[in-house]
Amino acid sequence: MLGTRFVGWLRAQGEEVVGWDLPGHDITDVKKTINGIHKVGPDVVFHFAAWTDVDGCEGNPGKATSTNFQGTWVVALGAAELGCRLLHVSTDYVFDGRTGRPYHERDKPNPLSVYGRSKLMAEKAVTKSCSRRYIVRISGLFGRYGRNFVDTIRTLAAKKKRLEVVADQVSSPTYARDLCEPLLELARSREYGTYHLTNSGQCSWYELAREVVSLVGAGCQVLPISTDKAGRPASRPAFSVLENRNFKKKFGKVLRPWQDALKEYLLEG
């Protein structure tokens, strides 16, 4: 989702972009990936590829590790060999959600799921392999070109009279489009390190669902349920709001509230 949106946005800005995706390129193919990075000779590698199905990862840790950790490690090695910059996208799910406050970049990760552990392993691979790196943690992504919670609720609300949605997991919903400009600004800088980058504000999945239903004008009742009642295979952090401390400090900017971003996305159709 983010990669497709970002590539299109970069090209609209007049940037020269080489996009890699399945099935043409598999990042777990060590030789092809490293040789391919050398052949292209980029200034920056943006690494968005991942297996983001949290419950799917829980049921298949081998695939999660291969894609999210080993694939990232290979990309990082290629970038390091060439000496180019690497921007790697990670997740709020590297945290356990038990602090009761927004996480800043120096907080110690403690993932609860296979997905979160595989992404934390990827972060460590990037840190160890590539000195010219940016690790960017995002949260609750929605937008075009991929499955996401917002689209799921919009579709279900048009078909059902009642929805039950988890109310005890809180994060910061983030619009893929809103990440494009700050990601490029970051990659053009020499401000290497770890960043949290999300739309402003926070809400539960239940609150987000209610906002979606309200904005699309659906006559659907949204009811809160607990995580335990939802019965999902993988554990999720209860409170994984990310404080965008480093980006605000170094670039003097914050992303707009998630409510404004959501409204614009839904109006796009």
| Active site (catalytic) residues | 115
Indicate the pairing of strand 174-175 with strand 85-91: unpaired
Q: Which two tokens stand for residue 11?
A: 């090209």
At 101, list the tokens.
């406050």
E strands, the chain, are 44-47, 85-91, 133-138, 141-142, 162-166, 170-171, 174-175, 193-196, 203-204, 221-225
SS3 259: helix
Distance separating alpha carbons of residues 135 and 122, to the nearest angstrom: 10
Q: Give, as one character, the DSSP assignment of residue 99.
A: S
**Radius of gyration (C-alpha) of the chain in whole angstroms:** 18
